[in-house]
Amino acid sequence: MHKLVFFSLVASSFIACNKGDVSQPQMRNNEEQITTVQINAFKTDKPDSVFGIVWRDLDGFGGLDPKIDIMQLQANTNYQWHLVLLNESVSPVDTISNEILKEADVHRFFYLPDSAISSLVQIHILDKDNQSKPLGLNAAIQVSPLLNNLTSANGNIRIILSHYDGIPKSDLPAPESDMEIEFPVIIVR
Amino acid sequence: MQRINIFCLVFLLISVTKTVSAQNSPYQLTIDCIDSLLGEPVSNCEVKIAELNIIEHANQFGQVQFENLPIGQYRLAFKANGYHAFHKAIEFTQSMGIQIQLCPLHIHLHEATVSESNNTSFFKSKLYGINPILNKEHLFKTNALNWSQLLKALPGVYLIQTGPVNSIPVVRGLHTNRIVLVQQDIRLYNQQWGLEHAPEIGTANIDRIQLLRGPLALKYGSDAFGGVLLNIAPEYLKTAVIQSNTQMGFHSNNRTFSVAEFIQFRHQKVATQVSFSYKKGADAQSPNYVVSNTGFQTLTFQTNLLYLISKKATLENRFSFFQSKMGIAAAAHIGSTSDLYRAIHSSVPLLVAPATYNINKPYQDVRHQQYSCKLNYQLSKAHAIQGVYMLQYNQRSEFDKGVAWSNQSKNEPANAYHLLTQGLQFIYQYNTNQLQTEWGIDCVNGKNLTTGIQDPFIPNYSQVSTGAFGLTTFKYKQATIEGSYRFDYKLQQVYYRDPSNKVNAPQFNYTGNSFGLGVAIPVVSMANFQVSALKAWRAPAINEMFSNGLHNSMASYELGNVLLQTEQAFNLEAGMQFKWNKTSIKTNVFMNAIDGYIVSVPTGQVTLTTRGSFPTFQFNQQDAQFKGIEISLVQLIGSRFKFSGQAQLLDAIDKHTRLPIYGIPPNQLYASVSYFLFNKNTQSQLEFNLDWNAVNSQLNYIKELDFMSPPPAYHLIHFAAQVNVKQKFKIQFQVKNIFNVAYRDYMNRFRYFFDEPGRNFTIQCSIQI
């Protein structure tokens, strides 16, 4: 009988206790999250005239809809922009774009104008990683003139952050993306 | 011990078949060997006539024939693995047929004053047609990679897969929270809500699996209306010996090797069973490419210990440990909607690497520990009481690929669930020849803690369930009637933080009644009719009310719904078993109406995230109706061939809109031809099987609910050869998917991304000492 009791105790000891109090859920503190994508853009011939375009979702996935600025570009104009990625849900605010710059070898941004404006907008990546492969935090945007009968054109630019985890970086997006957002674009004369 | 319990009497039914006497006394003796418990044929029975020193073996229908038997008085000795030996004297004067009901070994556990009942539930349903059983032979032949795969031979059971190895059972279209899993009479409490959460059940210690769908299912909960899957362990030894069973196997497709050891011994008042198993597999290979990161490893350990305190009391302790690490197919783990569309429109997975045993992120690491202690006390021959305490701890850690900018992301799980469950049960049993009844109460308390670096998909919660049940089965003339009633009260309290980090703690209460009634009536001597009705209910699960997050592989954003009410189910099933000479036919027709069926449906809106815009799904309720038919046929052709066929048809619709329910298994057909050879000298049997499995395309679906049309129908051919020597040594060789067909299965949630595994050569052996 003593052996039996001993056996029971040994068996019970394997059962770990539940850590923590279920009535106190862990704080929301998602380090992985990107809440804000800010584009700091300027006309190439006017480097001082910087304007910001922001995509922001402070409460993360779900909940309230994100706030998205409209990107207004002028036809027949060249721009450059710099992307800043933030996690504003943590304190202090985490500048994720700095981390991406450190891990540039496994990341790449893709800028994909949709079919409505793809003939008008050409985007070229300016920055490179250590292997001289494109990164995309900095880009040049060339907006072509509008056709004669148009006063404006509307479309979207999709920005994808590809993560090349365990596979070589290429000109094709990786199978898994870390970020994918879309800005509405209006091109005016 | 000399008094034999009424359950253990071996019935002898003699029906004399008159034959025309011939010149050379051509009398024959035909014996049908039947399992006294299941009513099913005992095919491994050996019958010896001592006076003539001749032995014959039963065929697949449990039939034994002695030809040209001289008139005389004989002593027949019956021997079958897993059954008590039995002797019967007969006076043989002319051709005759007798039916012997052999008593399974474990039946004696209920004998007379001592109840050693352990791994098998005391109370067994007699509605065999409605509650089908897979025996050890079936389980061995399946050569499964996991527990769920063992179940495919059960009528009406399909699998939902998430990759080549990860799977959960679907019974007649119902799954997860509507199926109850029971391991040696203890209900399993795990994170059962997830389609990719394979049950934490080892296979090394399973003797039989029964799918309980009739009234007696209510013993295990009111939410058991999808079915209860009972995993029954071998019975304890009753003599002082040591017995071991070693099993080894290999699968060529994903290079899985497995080893399992089961040892049991008896020393006076103590009987012990110890089992251990280990499986490790590499990436699976579909006919045209490797399905990367689908390797897995599983480790299980279980020990059972029975102590006979006195002639009337036994105490049983059980402990089990299950651990599994399983890769999530890399090609299925997408980050955004664009990724999904690229993956769907690519002819090969976007990520293919050489096959390896390495398991990389994303993967899941699951551990389950279970302890139970059961005390049986036999008050008298007919009355017994039982008390059970159980403790279970389930840990599930899900690791995503993670992001480069977070150190936490590199090392810690995205979500980890820690579920601790305790339960108490008290049962009173009354057992006579005419009437068996069981009354009990149970109380279960569970607490879930969610951690991890991502916002929790389901929140913390605690819940208490208490229930009281009564089960009865009694005989009235030729009929067997089963009835059950159950009352439940359930309290759930959820703890979650809103976006401002404030804790909310809503509470939910549910009560409900469930009952069932079933009847088995022998229509004529060759046919048995069974009918069962079950009314049950289920409280909405935590995930259905509070899930909130992205389903990466499904590219959907899933929301819970706190307004959900209970599901009310009504099952009606009728079954007919017909057996004539060498033909056996079983048919089951069923209708399962579930009012307030909880299902995740698209809201028509999208959720905008930094991972793209995802269609939003939310749990909602509809009145669903599942109906179907299952037909199986076994035909012996001569003494060497056997043909088996099975058809499963299922239809599920919303009762009001008549639109199909999402994700229902398509219709399927199965046929098999077997050839047997038996060598009396070496007591060995050689068996060849050629199987054909046809799965239709799911034609009933709503186009808007899916990213892709259901895959086309497919056919697979399998071959198996098996040698069985004295039931002690078995070796089996199989080729699955002989023609290396590239196909996709509708019930595989990763069917958007890659094909099912291709040809697979398997070998396994089992040695019993």
- For the cut 50, the answer to whether the pLDDT of residue A54 exceeds it is yes
DSSP label at residue B348:
S
- For the cut 60, the answer to whether the pLDDT of residue A6 exceeds it is no
Q: Do A25 and B459 touch (CB under 8 A)?
A: yes
Q: Which of B259, B260, B298, B251 is CA-nearest to residue B763?
A: B251
Distance from CA of B306 to the nearest CA of A (A): 9
Question: Nearest chain A Cα to B331, which residue?
Answer: A175
Position B724 confidence tier, pLDDT thresholds 50, 70, 90: confident
Distance from CA of B692 to the nearest CA of A (A): 36
pLDDT, tens only, B486-522: 999 999 999 998 878 899 999 999 999 999 999 988 7
In B6-152, which ranges are E strands? 12-15, 29-35, 45-49, 54-57, 63-66, 72-80, 86-92, 96-102, 133-134
> ∠ CA B487-B489-B495 to the nearest 5 degrees?
160
Which string of DSSP letters, residue by residue, matches B500-564? T--EE--EEEEEEEEEEEEEEEEEETTEEEEEEEEEEEEPPPHHHHH-EEEETTTTEEEE--TT-
pLDDT, tens only, B253-289: 999 999 999 999 988 889 999 999 999 999 999 999 9
Position B107 confidence tier, pLDDT thresholds 50, 70, 90: very low
pLDDT, tens only, B617-670: 899 999 999 999 999 998 888 878 889 999 999 999 999 999 999 889 999 999
What pLDDT score does B9 carry? 31
- For the cut 80, the answer to whether the pLDDT of residue A76 exceeds it is yes
What pLDDT score does B25 carry? 46
Q: Which of B601, B595, B636, B648 is CA-nearest to residue B620?
A: B601
What pLDDT score does B105 carry? 63
- Own/partner contacts of B638-642, CB < 8 Å, gap of 24 or more, are B639/B59, B639/B676, B640/B675, B640/B676, B640/B677, B641/B673, B641/B674, B641/B675, B641/B676, B642/B60, B642/B673, B642/B674, B642/B675, B642/B676
What pLDDT score does B485 carry? 96
Q: Which of A51-60, B267-276, B426-435, B589-598 has the lowest mean pLDDT?
A: B426-435
Highest mean pLDDT of the ranges A4-8, B58-62, B172-176, B434-438: B172-176
Position A84 confidence tier, pLDDT thresholds 50, 70, 90: very high
Mean pLDDT of A168-180: 86
Q: Do B418 and A19 touch (CB under 8 A)?
A: yes
pLDDT, tens only, A93-151: 989 999 999 989 999 999 999 988 989 999 999 999 999 999 999 999 999 988 877 88
CA–CA separation, A105 and A163 (whole Å): 9
- Residue B440's DSSP bridge partners are B427, B469
Q: Do B331 and A16 touch (CB under 8 A)?
A: no
- Tokens representing residue B751 in the block: 């069917």
Question: Nearest chain B Cα to A61, which residue?
Answer: B609
Domain spans, chain A? 32-188
Which residues 155-184 of A are in CB contact (within 8 Å) with B? Answer: 158, 160, 163, 165-167, 173, 175-182
- For the cut 60, the answer to whether the pLDDT of residue B18 exceeds it is no
- Tokens representing residue B689 in the block: 């099987």
pLDDT, tens only, B286-345: 999 999 999 999 999 999 999 989 888 899 999 999 999 999 988 887 777 777 888 888
> ∠ CA B20-B24-B25 to the nearest 5 degrees?
55
Position A19 confidence tier, pLDDT thresholds 50, 70, 90: low
Using CA of residue B150, residue B152, residue B157, residue B161, what is the dihedral sign? positive
- Mean pLDDT estimate for chain B: 86
- For the cut 80, the answer to whether the pLDDT of residue B726 exceeds it is no
Task: Label the pairing between strands B760-768 and B242-251.
Answer: antiparallel
What pLDDT score does B602 carry? 79
Question: Which has more pLDDT, B356 or B556?
Answer: B356
Closest CB to A100 among B315, B405, B607: B405
CA–CA separation, B90 and B70 (whole Å): 13
Q: Do B401 and A163 touch (CB under 8 A)?
A: yes
- For the cut 50, the answer to whether the pLDDT of residue B116 exceeds it is no
pLDDT, tens only, B340-382: 888 888 888 888 889 999 998 889 999 999 999 999 998 887 8
**Can you tell me which residue has the tokens 């007696």?**
B216
- Widest CA span of chain B, in angstroms? 98
What pLDDT score does B641 carry? 87
Mean pLDDT of B714-734: 92
- Tokens representing residue B38 in the block: 């299941």
- Residue B686's DSSP bridge partners are B677, B723
What pLDDT score does B39 carry? 60
Position B738 confidence tier, pLDDT thresholds 50, 70, 90: very high
CA–CA separation, B491 and B467 (whole Å): 12
- Tokens representing residue B767 in the block: 């040695």
Distance from CA of A106 to the nearest CA of B (A): 9
Q: Count Cα neighbours of B422 within 13 Å in the Cβ-side half-sphere.
A: 7
CA–CA separation, B537 and B596 (whole Å): 10
Question: Nearest chain A Cα to B496, which residue?
Answer: A25
Distance from CA of A82 to the nearest CA of B (A): 18
Q: Do A24 and B503 touch (CB under 8 A)?
A: yes
Question: Which residues are within 8 A (CB) of B172 and not within 5 positions of it... i.e. 6 or more apart?
Answer: B156, B226, B227, B590, B592, B626, B628, B650
CA–CA separation, A24 and A8 (whole Å): 32
What pLDDT score does B393 carry? 96
Domains located in chain B, CATH noted:
6-108 (2.60.40.1120), 133-768 (2.40.170.20)
E strand or H helix that includes residue B623: strand B612-637
pLDDT, tens only, B216-260: 999 999 998 999 999 988 888 877 889 999 999 999 999 999 999
Question: Which residues are within 8 A (CB) of B616 and not within 5 positions of it... i.e. 6 or more apart?
Answer: B556, B557, B559, B602, B603, B605, B606, B607
Distance from CA of B372 to the nearest CA of A (A): 9
Q: Do B449 and A177 touch (CB under 8 A)?
A: no
Question: Which has more pLDDT, B716 or B80?
Answer: B716
- For the cut 90, the answer to whether the pLDDT of residue B106 exceeds it is no
pLDDT, tens only, B132-149: 888 888 888 888 999 999
- For the cut 70, the answer to whether the pLDDT of residue B120 exceeds it is no
Question: Which has more pLDDT, B22 or A172?
Answer: A172
Task: Please list every residue in chain A whose beta carbon sits closer than 8 Å to the beta carbon of residue B319.
Answer: 11, 14
CA–CA separation, B490 and B222 (whole Å): 11
Mean pLDDT of B702-717: 88
**Can you tell me which residue has the tokens 């955004």?**
B336
Q: How far apart are the first and last CA of chain B?
A: 28
**ipTM of this predicted complex?**
0.81
- Tokens representing residue B311 in the block: 């002639």
Amino acid at position B728, single letter: K
Q: Which of A100-114, B101-115, B657-671, B689-703 has the lowest mean pLDDT?
A: B101-115
Which CATH number is A32-188 given?
Answer: 2.60.40
